[in-house]
């Protein structure tokens, strides 16, 4: 979701530049990026050699997405800077926060502090920290989302250099989407989820081939995505939340000499759900080899426009003096995907 069509910025950062960085009442960050470490601290770190999902382009770091689990001042503040080695696990850390909240309520400790200090304290101890905690969900809900049992670490071949990333993908994707649902319910406006680069089915030393690689990747996606869609529908959020599933490119129509597929910019799949758009249809056609569009192409600017029209009236941005002209022009440069 970062390219020249987004001014080299995370789309959520563009949204935050228009809507603001935090919810005006709760303080919830309006732009969040979730990597595997948000739900599994032992996962591999964010990959940045091919670009950064949390890039802000020329917007400045004030509009960067909040990245839970990545460390840094904001993360430390939201966790009250309590050293993790004082606790056996994350559950005890959350219990400590709950006890601190109760003691503050009883003692009146915050009386006399100014409004902004009070707001900051409420932000830390309020429902915002809870929204990032998937363990507050019922066991049945966690089980519905959980992708870890589907493809176990033991079943992933050790011959691939990216084995740890395959493991992280399956261990975390379901919980990442569960956290995403919790965040949008709590008022977050834009959530980016990635499990790092695992869809490269090149059949080289790093990546499995098509058949094996799809087993490592698609099983978790099918399970977690269906859980998210069903959950949003059940909660009445289907028209309020737009789910976008895409990669950075497609794959070559021809199998390579090793039995895998390589990068291909001519055509790529795109899945959309919700947001008040017309669902239940297939838009566009490809050539027989799935290499090029044979109908009117859907471009990245069309996708950006679709996302932004879901969030606000993109056509009115030029009339808002607080929105820079170049941002307004970028977000309204194309039409939403035709047919939606």
Give Cα separations from 130 to 34, 82, 116, 137 (angstroms): 15, 16, 21, 10
How would residue 104 be classed by pLDDT, with cut points 50, 70 and 90? low
181 falls within a domain: yes
As a residue count, the chain comes to 340
Identify the residue with better confidence: 120 or 242.
242
82 falls within a domain: no
Tokens of 269: 């799949």
Q: Is the pLDDT of residue 209 over 60?
A: yes
Lowest mean pLDDT among 19-33, 139-153, 156-170, 204-218: 19-33
Lowest mean pLDDT among 84-93, 221-230, 321-330: 84-93
Tokens of 95: 């219990």
Most confident of 12-26, 114-128, 177-191: 177-191
> Residue 283 is part of which domain span?
4-68+132-331
Angle at 6 between CA 292 and CA 172, to 5 degrees: 80
The sign one gets for the Cα dihedral 34, 40, 42, 44 is negative
Our count of domains for the chain comes to 1
How does pLDDT run across 14-31, given as a tens digit for each residue?
A: 999 999 998 888 888 899
CA 258 to chain centre: 32
CA dihedral 172, 176, 179, 184 (to 10 degrees): -170
278 falls within a domain: yes
Tokens of 257: 């000499």
62 falls within a domain: yes
Identify the residue with better confidence: 234 or 73.
234
Looking at the DSSP bridge assignments, the partners of residue 192 are 33
Do 226 and 99 form a contact (C-beta atoms < 8 A)? no
Do 132 and 161 form a contact (C-beta atoms < 8 A)? no
Q: Report the pLDDT value the prediction gives residue 95, as an integer from 0 to 100.
A: 62
Q: Which residue do the tokens 């995907």 mark?
A: 337
Q: Report the pLDDT value the prediction gives residue 69, as an integer from 0 to 100.
A: 81
Residue range 255-267: average pLDDT? Answer: 94
Q: Is the pLDDT of residue 116 over 50?
A: no
89 falls within a domain: no
Residues 6+ apart with CB under 8 A from 83: none
CA dihedral 4, 6, 9, 13 (to 10 degrees): 180
How would residue 126 be classed by pLDDT, with cut points 50, 70 and 90? low
The sign one gets for the Cα dihedral 201, 206, 212, 215 is negative
Q: Is the pLDDT of residue 72 over 90?
A: no
The C-alpha atoms of residue 121 and residue 110 are separated, in whole angstroms, by 9
277 falls within a domain: yes
Could you tell me the pTM of the whole model?
A: 0.84
127 falls within a domain: no
12 falls within a domain: yes
How does pLDDT run across 266-324, given as a tens digit for each residue?
A: 999 999 999 999 999 999 999 999 999 999 999 999 999 999 999 998 878 888 988 88
């Amino acid at each position: 979701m970062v390219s020249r069509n987004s001014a080299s910025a995370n789309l959520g950062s563009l949204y935050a530049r228009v809507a603001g960085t935090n919810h005006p009442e709760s303080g919830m960050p309006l732009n969040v990026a979730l990597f595997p470490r948000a739900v599994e601290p032992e996962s591999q770190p964010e990959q940045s050699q091919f670009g950064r999902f949390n890039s802000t382009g020329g917007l400045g770091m004030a509009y960067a997405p909040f990245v839970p689990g990545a460390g840094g001042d904001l993360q430390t503040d939201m966790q009250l800077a309590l050293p993790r080695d004082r606790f056996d696990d994350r559950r005890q850390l959350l219990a400590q926060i709950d006890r601190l909240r109760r003691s503050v309520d009883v003692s009146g400790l915050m009386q006399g502090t100014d409004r902004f200090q009070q707001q900051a304290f409420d932000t830390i101890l309020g429902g915002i920290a809870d929204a990032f905690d998937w363990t507050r969900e019922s066991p049945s809900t966690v089980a519905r989302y959980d992708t870890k049992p589907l493809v176990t670490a033991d079943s992933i071949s050790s011959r691939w250099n990216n084995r740890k990333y395959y493991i992280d993908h399956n261990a975390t994707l379901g919980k990442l989407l569960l956290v995403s649902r919790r965040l949008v319910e709590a008022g977050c406006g834009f959530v980016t989820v990635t499990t790092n680069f695992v869809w490269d089915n090149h059949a080289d030393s790093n990546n499995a081939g098509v058949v094996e690689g799809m087993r490592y990747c698609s099983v978790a996606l099918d399970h977690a995505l269906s859980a998210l869609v069903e959950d949003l529908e059940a909660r009445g959020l289907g028209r309020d939340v737009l789910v976008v599933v895409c990669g950075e490119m497609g794959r070559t129509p021809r199998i390579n000499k090793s039995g895998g597929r390589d990068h291909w910019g001519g055509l790529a799949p795109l899945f959309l759900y919700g947001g008040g758009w017309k669902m239940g249809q297939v838009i566009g056609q490809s050539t027989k080899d799935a290499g090029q569009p044979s109908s009117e192409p859907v471009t990245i600017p069309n996708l950006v426009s679709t996302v932004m029209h879901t969030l606000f009236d993109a056509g009115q941005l030029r009339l808002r003096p607080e929105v820079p002209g170049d941002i307004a022009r970028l977000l309204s440069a194309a039409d939403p995907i035709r047919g939606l």
